[in-house]
A = this chain, B = another copy of it.
Amino acid sequence: MRVELLTVGDELLLGDTINGNAAWLGRRLADHGVEVTRSVVVGDETGVIIEAVTAALARADAVITTGGLGPTYDDLTRDALAEAAGVPLVRDPELETRLRERVAAAGREIRDMALRMADVPEGAGLLRNSAGSAPGLRVELPGGVVYALPGVPFEMRTIMDEVVLPELAGPPEVARRTLRTAGVWESVLATRLAEVEAMDGVRLAYLPQPAEVRVRVSATGTDAWDRLADVEKRIRELLGAAVYGVEDETLDRVVHRLLTQRTATVAAAESLTGGLIGAELSAMPGSSSTFAGGVVAYATDLKRRLLDVPGDLLAEHGAVHPDVAAAMAAGVRDRLGATYGVAVTGVAGPEPQDGRPVGTVYIGVAGPGNMRIVTCPKLPVPGAGRETRDVIRRMTVVHALDQLRRALLGLPADAAAEFVRLDREEVG
């Protein structure tokens, strides 16, 4: 089964919108063993849509389109599909009634243009949309079938999961799993995994983000899932604690789970990250049971006033120093009454601070009877200005959450000595 994606919309060609729908569809279909062989974006033009659908069906068995099903004059997908099928658009009375009711319920009057959403190419199937106004369409063309879905992500995803995937997905012949790693450079991972790369019927893809790399493992063959399990086991042996989760198990989820298992809480003391660590620790539903709160001590003096960092320490070394990270972690843990305190101080740039270069970061993790201080001597970043700041801040968040995870699990602090190294550990 070969599927192509066709995304319709001028806003995508202009780059006003990033094509998140295509990415989501690709992942969803791959997870169900359906291969996406091409993904095309065209503008809002009937002739171009017809041509693209026809060309896609000459190569693939099915096409999934998104976008162009709305009420405005530039929504042309239904017109294009009717023309491609050589049938007229007919107004579906049931859809019209439902549209009128929906708009009336919101206390508004329906515009004639909006009724276009009740028009359907004659003979097309309707794909139930339990999340919005207009259904998707199933149109049979000579070369194969077209599934036309709305561009609104939430509606598109609902129709896809409830209607289209059950129709399209057969049993998988490719088994895939994504292992999530933190703190280790892509080339270091690749070197450690050389023997896995060499295995027949196994493919690895490295998907780097700041301070994280997702390793996508694919195994093919009739025993794909068994092979995948073997490969995953070997990878975990080779990478050890660098693997923190699988699939959509993000670092904040892992930390939340570990804290919940220990009936423990955490508080965050932040400087250069400005609140991003707290934002991660509060992202999960139910995080109020594990996240107490935080202090963003951006101005140096606030580190003393809000977190009890000794004034003479700040006077002597400035704010970017391993002892300051430790004092912040201890201070926020005490002041907020949490089981753990995690703290960061560092230089996000663009200018050096207190004599430390951009990319210098210190992390403190204070736990019951234990304090760990970790140094990131130089986080590697491209470019300059705001982009650099964003990347350094993001890397700092990942390293801080990963160090909290390692402290919770009693794992060593060092991930890849190049970027993260233990400064010291104090017990008692």
Contacts and interface: CB of A to CB of B under 8 A. Distances in A.
Interface string A290-316: 011111111100100010000000000
A212 to B, nearest CB: 13
A contact residues, range? 35 or more
B25 A15 contact: yes
Given A296-B293, A297-B293, A298-B291, A207 B390 contact: no
A36 B13 contact: yes
Contacts of A207: 11, 16-17
B279 A306 contact: no
25 contacts: A11-B205, A11-B207, A13-B26, A13-B39, A14-B176, A15-B26, A15-B27, A16-B205, A37-B42, A40-B41, A154-B383, A268-B296, A273-B279, A274-B280, A274-B283, A275-B294, A278-B278, A279-B393, A283-B389, A283-B390, A285-B389, A288-B298, A293-B296, A293-B306, A294-B296
Given A285-B350, A349-B285, A302 B336 contact: yes
A203 to B, nearest CB: 9
Interface of A: 10-20, 22-28, 30, 36-43, 48, 52, 55, 131, 154, 176, 178, 205, 207, 214, 216, 268, 270, 272-285, 287-288, 291-299, 302, 306, 335-336, 349-351, 382-383, 385-387, 389-390, 393
Given A285-B386, A386-B284, A15 B23 contact: yes
Contacts of A277: 275
A177 to B, nearest CB: 12
Nearest to A106: B187
A281 B274 contact: yes
A35 B275 CA distance: 40
Nearest to A39: B41
Contacts of A281: 274
Contact of A299 (B37, B178, B288): B288
Given A16-B207, A36-B13, A278 B285 contact: no
A27 B16 contact: yes
| 7 nearest A-B pairs in the assembled complex, by CB-CB distance | A275-B275, A274-B282, A275-B278, A15-B27, A15-B26, A39-B41, A294-B296
Nearest to A35: B13
Contact of A27 (B14, B178, B294, B297): B14
A345 to B, nearest CB: 12
Given A14-B216, A15-B26, A26-B14, A293 B282 contact: no
Nearest to A108: B187
A13 B24 CA distance: 10
